[in-house]
Structure 1
Amino acid sequence: MRTIPFLTSLILILVGLPAGQTAHAKQLYKWVDEHGNTYFSDQVPPEHVQYGRQTLNEKGRVVNSLEQAKTKEQQELDKRLQKLRAEQQKIIAEQKSHDKVLLSTFRSEADMETMLKGKLQTLDAQEGVLQGNLKRLQNLLEGKHKKAAVFERNGQKTPQAVLDEIKGLEGQIDQAKAEISKHLEQRAETQNSFKADIERYRFLTQSAGQGQAQNLSDKTAQIKAADELGLYDCDNDSDCTKAWEIARRFIEHYSTTGNDVANDKLILSRAPVNTSDLSLSVSKVQGRDNHQQLFLDIRCQQSSAGDELCAGEKVKAIRKSFRQFIEQGLAADQ
Structure 2
Amino acid sequence: MHRKSCSLALILVTPLLLGWVQFAHAKKMYRWVDENGRIYFSDVVPPDQVQHKRETRNEKARVLNVVEKAKSPEELEQQKRLEALRKEQEKIIAKQAADDKVLLSTYRSVEDMNRALDNKLTLMTGEKAMLEGNKQRLEQQLLQQQQQAANLERNAQTVPEKLLSEISATRQQIEQNIQEMARYESNKQSVEKEFKASIARFEFLTQGNKAGQSNPINPLTDDAPNQLGLFTCKDAAQCDKAWKIAGEFVYKYANTRHDVDNEKLIMTAAPFNDEDLSLSVSRLDRAGVQEIFLDLRCKASNIGKELCNSEKAQSIRRGFAAYIQLQLASDQ
Q: What's the TM-score once normalised by structure 2's chain length? A: 0.52
1:101 corresponds, among 106, 109, 119, to 106
Write the deviation string for residues 56-95 of structure 1: whole angstroms up to 9, x where unpaired: 99xx998975322342212432343354345334313422
Alpha-carbon shift at residue 148 of structure 1 (Å): 1.9
Residue 12 (1) aligns with residue 14 (2): yes
1:30 alignment counterpart: 32
Please tell me whether the aligned partners of residues 272 and 300 of structure 1 are also in contact (alpha carbons under 8 angstroms): no
Give the match's secondary structure for 1:140.
Answer: helix
1:81 corresponds, among 78, 86, 90, to 86
2:166 alignment counterpart: 165
Q: Tell me: CA distance 1:97–1:290, structure 2 relative to 1, closer, same or farther (3 Å).
A: farther
Alpha-carbon shift at residue 144 of structure 1 (Å): 1.4
Please tell me whether the aligned partners of residues 283 and 291 of structure 2 are also in contact (alpha carbons under 8 angstroms): no
Q: Tell me: CA distance 1:61–1:167, structure 2 relative to 1, closer, same or farther (3 Å).
A: closer
What is the rounded CA distance, in whole Å, between the counterparts of 2:254 and 2:91 in structure 1?
A: 15
What is the rounded CA distance, in whole Å, between the counterparts of 2:53 and 2:83 in structure 1?
A: 18
1:140 alignment counterpart: 141
Please tell me whether the aligned partners of residues 81 and 295 of structure 1 are also in contact (alpha carbons under 8 angstroms): no
Q: Output the aligned Cα RMSD.
A: 5.3
- The one-letter code matched in structure 1 to 2:37 is T
Residue 51 (1) aligns with residue 68 (2): no
Write the deviation string for residues 180-225 of structure 1: whole angstroms up to 9, x where unpaired: 2222333334444445556666x46xxxxxxxx74x35x58xx9xx
- The one-letter code matched in structure 1 to 2:153 is E
- The one-letter code matched in structure 1 to 2:103 is H
Please tell me whether the aligned partners of residues 31 and 39 of structure 1 are also in contact (alpha carbons under 8 angstroms): yes
Q: Tell me: CA distance 1:146–1:272, structure 2 relative to 1, closer, same or farther (3 Å).
A: closer
Please tell me whether the aligned partners of residues 128 and 181 of structure 2 are also in contact (alpha carbons under 8 angstroms): yes
Q: Tell me: CA distance 1:54–1:102, structure 2 relative to 1, closer, same or farther (3 Å).
A: closer
1:1-334 map, 5 Å: 10-16=12-18, 30-33=32-35, 37-39=36-38, 43=46, 45=48, 50-54=51-55, 65-70=66-71, 71-72=75-76, 73-103=78-108, 109=111, 115-195=116-196, 203=203, 214=206, 216=207, 243=217, 246=218, 249=220, 252=222, 257-258=224-225, 268=227, 287=270, 289=272, 292-296=276-280, 304=288, 307-310=289-292
Write the deviation string for residues 247-290 of structure 1: whole angstroms up to 9, x where unpaired: x52x847xxx435xxxxxxxx359889979x9x99999x95546
What is the rounded CA distance, in whole Å, between the counterparts of 2:150 and 2:270 in structure 1?
A: 77
Please tell me whether the aligned partners of residues 30 and 38 of structure 1 are also in contact (alpha carbons under 8 angstroms): no
Which stretch shows the higher mean deviation, 287-296 or 171-180?
Answer: 287-296
What is the rounded CA distance, in whole Å, between the counterparts of 1:271 and 1:168 in structure 2?
A: 52
Please tell me whether the aligned partners of residues 54 and 65 of structure 1 are also in contact (alpha carbons under 8 angstroms): yes
Alpha-carbon shift at residue 12 of structure 1 (Å): 1.4
Alpha-carbon shift at residue 10 of structure 1 (Å): 4.9
Alignment identity in percent? 23
What is the rounded CA distance, in whole Å, between the counterparts of 1:298 and 1:32 in structure 2?
A: 38
Alpha-carbon shift at residue 141 of structure 1 (Å): 1.0
2:310 alignment counterpart: none
What is the rounded CA distance, in whole Å, between the counterparts of 1:44 and 1:155 in structure 2?
A: 105
Give the match's secondary structure for 2:290.
Answer: helix
Give the match's secondary structure for 1:51.
Answer: coil
2:239 alignment counterpart: none
What is the rounded CA distance, in whole Å, between the counterparts of 2:287 and 2:134 in structure 1?
A: 47
What is the rounded CA distance, in whole Å, between the counterparts of 1:82 and 1:65 in structure 2?
A: 24
- The one-letter code matched in structure 1 to 2:138 is L
Write the deviation string for residues 26-49 of structure 1: whole angstroms up to 9, x where unpaired: x8863354xxx414577454xx75
Name structure 2 gaps, 5 residues minimum: 1-7, 20-28, 236-241, 243-248, 256-268, 294-316, 324-332
Give the match's secondary structure for 2:52.
Answer: coil
Q: Tell me: CA distance 1:119–1:192, structure 2 relative to 1, closer, same or farther (3 Å).
A: same
What is the rounded CA distance, in whole Å, between the counterparts of 1:274 and 1:113 in structure 2?
A: 36
Alpha-carbon shift at residue 14 of structure 1 (Å): 3.7
Name structure 1 gaps, 5 residues minimum: 1-5, 18-26, 205-212, 224-232, 260-267, 312-318, 326-334
Q: Tell me: CA distance 1:39–1:269, structure 2 relative to 1, closer, same or farther (3 Å).
A: farther
